[in-house]
Structure 1
Amino acid sequence: MTAENPTGPLGGHLDDDDFPAYTMGRAAEMLGTTQGFLRAIGEARLITPLRSAGGHRRYSRYQLRVAARARELVDQGTPIESACRIVILEDQLEEAQRINAEYRRAAEATDR
């Protein structure tokens, strides 16, 4: 088995944060929450789980991190809809800051 052509049950997805590896039950267990919470943040469009061939929700590690952040806010008393909006805005801000940093690096490179 090589890194270029991984084989096995996960097909080389062990390092893929976006691979939908976790069932709803396992995801809820890992987050210490209920399946209803996962459904609620899905309905609020914070995360959109992929579906297995049988139609079951499957979550990635990235989605679990997002859900964990929403749970932190809910645990602090923030309504779930507001928590989801905050997490979305935090994500958008992080992306904007990343893009801004790239523009700055490009501008500095052209100034030299």
Structure 2
Amino acid sequence: MLDDDDYPAYTMGRAAEIVGTSQEFLRRLDEAKLFTPFRSAGGHRRYSRYQLRLAVRAREMVDAGTALEAACRIIILEDQLEEALEENRRIQREQSAESA
């Protein structure tokens, strides 16, 4: 669990403290569909380290003057591009191994 970036280890209060923002900002990121926090059995939001990194990126962009919705969309597109590039690299490695 400690090495899992997707493990929902942080409460909303702790997540807001780590990110350096308000709990309302984290709620707005959820509303903007940047990520959906996990829910505890009691219905409380829980955040992973990966989600906190996304929240930090969004906060930095908003602090620089980017609208929240635009910042979230940019981050989502950047992450999709990185995933596609990684998949492309994986396919190229597999094709190189098959050719050898």
TM-score (normalizing by structure 2): 0.95
Give percent identity, aligned residues only: 67
Partner of 1:9: none
Partner of 2:77: 89
Deviations 1:11-40 (A, max 9, x none): xx2112111111111100111101111000
1:107 Cα offset (Å): 1.5
**Distance in structure 1 (CA, Å) of the matches to 2:64 and 2:45:** 27
Structure 1 alignment gaps of length 5 or more: 1-12
1:75 Cα offset (Å): 1.1
- Within 5 Å, which residues of 2 pair with 1:1-112? 13-112=1-100
1:110 Cα offset (Å): 1.9
Flag the structure with higher helix content.
Answer: 2
**Distance in structure 2 (CA, Å) of the matches to 1:62 and 1:53:** 21
Moved over 4 A (4+): none
Structure 2 alignment gaps of length 5 or more: none
Q: How many residues align?
A: 100
Q: What's the Cα RMSD here?
A: 0.8
TM-score (normalizing by structure 1): 0.86
